[in-house]
Chain A
Amino acid sequence: MNQWEVVIGIETHAQLATVSKIFSGASTAFGAEPNTQACAVDLALPGVLPVLNKKAVECAIRFGLAIGAEVAQKSVFARKNYFYPDLPKGYQISQMDLPVVVGGNITLQVGQGDKAYEKVVRLTRAHLEEDAGKSLHEDFHGKSGIDLNRAGTPLLEIVSEPDMRSSDEAVAYAKALHALVRWIGICDGNMQEGSFRCDANVSVRPKGQAEFGTRREIKNLNSFRFLKEAIDFEVQWQINEIEEGRKIQQATVLFDPDSGETRMMRSKEDAHDYRYFPDPDLLPLIISSDWINRVKGELPELPGQKRERFVNELGLSAYDAITLTASQEMADYFESTVAIAGKANAKPCANWVMVDLAARLNKEGKELVESPVSAAQLAGLIQRIADNTISNNIAKKVFEALWNGEGATADDVIEKQGLKQITDSGAIEALVDEVLAANPANVAEFKAGKEKAFNALVGQVMKAAKGKANPQQVNDLLRQKLAAG
């Protein structure tokens, strides 16, 4: 494995969040009764013609702007010809030679914590096209049913350069892209419903070799987990093949989540000749700079811009900034927290969102939007840490109480459960004296140079204070007394 380098490029189909289809007025809503959202155009009745939905074009422009790509002034729709029952016209309207978005890149964070690194993945292009319908192979007694509700749903096909070198990088890319399309509001990102699906082009080559190996394309991966599993299996399969003296043949493969294996769908020899040609029913798509500027004005602050601001204005590390901008929800939550807790508390806010809250959500399998602790509640908690009302340790208790709905605010919980930190130095001094008197052995050990004994004494004091004594004051007083005694 070590002498092999993995090369991955990803093609993603993102369903665009338009109300109607890309070339007809029918609804794009998911889940309707079969064939109730397919109009004459979607059914490809004789004589019907496509009319381009401008909203779909705006989605493409938004995406192009968000990745720093060129939005083509002129792009052309082409017909991709093939026969399939869920493709009513016998061709798919797509873009071939002149796509609407060219170039651009996405910055992502791969791995976590100390092993994390930043990576820039270049994009080749993104183009507009229509989705096909669905073939339903169950419940029809040996026949297939066709549901054309999805036919004509707008897609943005986003093609990356073969820049990824591991399944982790591939997943990080897919997640970053997934977050971005949701961030700019062009795709709902619902992977179960097929709104966001990836094809992975995978090849391996000996490390140091300049040319790419022969690639195989894994089709239709609709979860990040499948993406990783499929690539990992495929990579190992390709290495085994080569090591056993066989050549990789270019092919399209499918991933079977049950077996965890990829299997061949068609070889290069069986590849369709799609007979692409410009669609004579549609004029070239001309996008004026005015249009681009208008869309630019409507764009939200993008992840990259936010990151920069988090670093420059809030003093966060690059790692924190990237993590907090991994999704719009997380960035929003963080910013709402900071808005209340104050910029001076940005770092603790970041830590609480990225670490404590994230861990708690993860444990319960909840999404951030489902968090029982609101940004305002968390901000209130962080404020009480900052003003020494509670210690970090007590804060975790308060957080847990808020999570369980045991109080409306941090103050409420602190009050009800009597968690307010003891900062009265007289009270703490009394506790310290008590502990010193009761633990002569520890005192002796400390005086003999064992620092560990000091920690034990701190622990005793905190225990006596039921955790509520200000730790700094406890420390200071103990040292003072021990030095004096």
Chain B
Amino acid sequence: MINASLKQLSQALAAKQISSVELTQLFLDRINRLNPALNAFVTVDTEKSLNSARAADARIAAGTAGLLTGIPIAQKDIFCAEGWRTTCGSKMLANFVSPYDATVIRKMEGEAGLVSLGKTNMDEFAMGSSNETSYFGPVRNPWDNGRVPGGSSGGSAAAVAARLAPAATGTDTGGSIRQPAALCNLTGLKPTYGVVSRYGMIAFASSLDQAGPMAASAEDCALLLNSMAGYDERDSTSLERPAEDYARDLDKPLAGLRIGLPKEFFGEGCDAEVMAAVRAAIAEYEKLGATTVEISLPNSHLSVPAYYVIAPAEASSNLSRFDGVRYGFRAEDYGNLDDMYMKSRAQGFGAEVKRRIMIGAYVLSHGYYDAYYLQAQRIRRLIANDFVEAFKVCDVIMGPTSPSTAFTLGEKAADPVQMYLSDIYTIAVNLAGLPGMSVPCGFAGGLPVGLQLIGNYFAEAQLLNVAHRYQQACDWHLRRPAGIE
């Protein structure tokens, strides 16, 4: 049961082979047993989870259940969930219990009937690529306990990889769903900006943040996205479009699919074994009837610098609300108001968050704004235009998700630039607002490798189709780390 797909779980629940309470208890037991070594969850509340499971069982009994009702999932601790401690991986919110539900939570749990197993660990305020910036300590990669799971959705990735949960939510500002999915052998999808509501998702960089599913397969991701996506009047940047079934095209044949291979993603800077696995995956796609075309994303080398202006700029402002006045951490001893602000923020935020707040405040300050912030916005438009051009000659773009497999704990922690470069292939997708996926495509040195798929705007169903057909042809996504069962 722990390795079952969401569809299988749904069928088992519908057939009353297992109740939601039993299923939930099964995963809670695994969390209880395995989480201490992994540190994937920061908050578990057995009673709350079981209450939700009971409610789901009642819906199933009453015949009002949806496809996902009663299935347990893990929620990244970036989503506000009523009555749940919501920390965003920070000391600043270590004791914050949300009085309201994020739209994602309301839709997934309130409407679809999914059962929350708890809140997963993450890089503090989603700032990091290794899950080492969390106030609650690093998360371990289930494939190798000495290695990072990636970040910032590292807790969600580790939880699903170790089957502490059938699936999880993540958020992706510069690669935070795709990179940990790649490093933990998961399928992860970052939708087009505006497809999933950001209301109640604690903001890192508002113009880049997007929530999405992390699961074992493309099919699971499609089903989860169906429960997450949709226009939300509470989020002005959410897109008013008709609801769609993201699973509708899963089985479409791939004959004639044009795969664009950006030469910039196949040059130097990527681990050779990773590259070999990616090339093998592309060869597999050719067997499935796809053709490849070399394309160019000429401004992609500017994506990391532009991102590290725009994201910190927005973050510096978004994180101003954490001031110790109304909720969250407040320093104990302070002299006056300014002292209270300074001490609370100095003690409440970790080093990486402070680094980005300072970068952000700097690039927005008088005299630097044009040279940094405006210039980065211009680059952002150029990068988006690169993709517009590329999609004139291809349907989907492929390349590596991450230039390396999971690195060891501490390896890049002292060198922010090295850490930032681990998102070199994913960041441009956020800057352009496009949908992107990571799909397991093999192993290098025994560690998972992710294939990145980038689609045109609103091409989620197509990306899921492209991933799903590949997963029908090979079984990389079914491999589990040793000792899971």
Contact = CB atoms under 8 A, between A and B. Distances in A.
B203 A44 contact: no
B332 to A, nearest CB: 15
A90 B321 CA distance: 5
A43 B99 CA distance: 12
Interface in B368-396: 369, 373
B445 to A, nearest CB: 39
A49 B235 contact: yes
Contacts of B319: 90
B364 A81 contact: yes
Interface in A68-103: 79, 81, 83, 85, 88-91
B317 A88 contact: no
A277 B202 contact: no
Contacts of A46: 80, 86, 88, 93, 96, 98, 202, 321-322
Interface string A8-50: 0000000000000000000000000000000010011111111
Contacts of A146: 325-326
Nearest to A24: B234
B358 to A, nearest CB: 12
Contacts of B320: 81, 83, 89-91
A275 interface: yes
B49 to A, nearest CB: 21
A48 B317 contact: no
B233 interface: yes
Interface stretch (B20-28, B63-71, B193-201, B296-304): B193-201
B326 A43 contact: yes
Interface in A270-297: 273, 275-277, 280-283
Nearest to A86: B325
Nearest to A89: B321
Contact of B234 (A43, A49, A89, A276): A49
Nearest to B194: A283
Interface in A244-290: 273, 275-277, 280-283
Contacts of B12: none
B198 A49 contact: yes
Contact of A48 (B88, B200, B237, B325): B200
Secondary structure class of chain A's binding surface, majority of residues:
loop
B326 A280 contact: no
A47 B201 contact: yes
Contacts of A45: 80, 98-100, 327
B373 A277 contact: yes
A302 B292 CA distance: 67
A1 to B, nearest CB: 37
B291 interface: no
Contacts of B369: 275, 277
B237 A47 contact: no
Nearest to B341: A83
Interface in A109-161: 146
Contacts of A275: 316-317, 361, 364-366, 369
Contacts of B316: 81, 275
Given A85-B337, A146-B325, A51 B234 contact: yes
Nearest to A82: B320
Given A47-B201, A81-B317, A83-B341, A281 B206 contact: yes
Given A46-B88, A51-B236, A280-B207, A273 B365 contact: yes
A52 interface: yes
B199 A47 contact: yes
Interface in A295-349: none
B93 A277 contact: no
B313 interface: yes
B124 interface: no
A146 B206 CA distance: 27
A446 B317 CA distance: 89
Contacts of A91: 317, 320
A120 to B, nearest CB: 34
A88 B364 contact: no
Contact of A281 (B80, B237, B364): B237
A89 B205 CA distance: 15
Contacts of B313: 277
A49 B199 CA distance: 6
Contact of A47 (B202, B325, B341): B202
Contacts of B236: 49-52, 281-283
Nearest to A272: B366
A84 to B, nearest CB: 8
Nearest to A81: B317
A292 B255 CA distance: 52
B200 A47 contact: yes
A50 B318 CA distance: 12
Nearest to B232: A49
Scoring A40, A48, A50, A275 by chain B CB atoms within 10 A of each residue's CB, the highest score goes to: A275
B314 interface: yes
Contact of B199 (A48, A273, A283): A48
B102 interface: yes
Interface string B203-244: 101110000000000000000000000000111110000000
Scoring B93, B233, B327 by chain A CB atoms within 10 A of each residue's CB, the highest score goes to: B327
A79 B318 CA distance: 10
B326 A44 contact: yes
B323 interface: yes
A53 to B, nearest CB: 11
Contacts of A281: 203, 206, 236-237
Contacts of A40: 99-100
B364 A280 contact: no
A280 B206 contact: yes
A51 B79 CA distance: 19
A83 B340 CA distance: 11
Nearest to A274: B366
A40 B326 CA distance: 12
B314 to A, nearest CB: 6
A275 B233 CA distance: 28
B199 A90 contact: no
A232 B319 CA distance: 43
A44 B235 contact: no
A49 B232 CA distance: 11
Interface in B329-366: 337, 341, 361, 364-366
A161 to B, nearest CB: 24
5 smallest CB-CB distances across A and B, nearest first, come from: A90-B320, A280-B207, A280-B206, A275-B364, A47-B200
21 contacts: A45-B80, A45-B327, A46-B88, A46-B98, A47-B198, A47-B202, A49-B198, A49-B199, A51-B236, A85-B323, A88-B325, A90-B321, A90-B323, A146-B326, A273-B365, A275-B361, A277-B369, A280-B237, A281-B206, A282-B236, A282-B237
Interface of A: 40, 43-52, 79, 81, 83, 85, 88-91, 146, 273, 275-277, 280-283
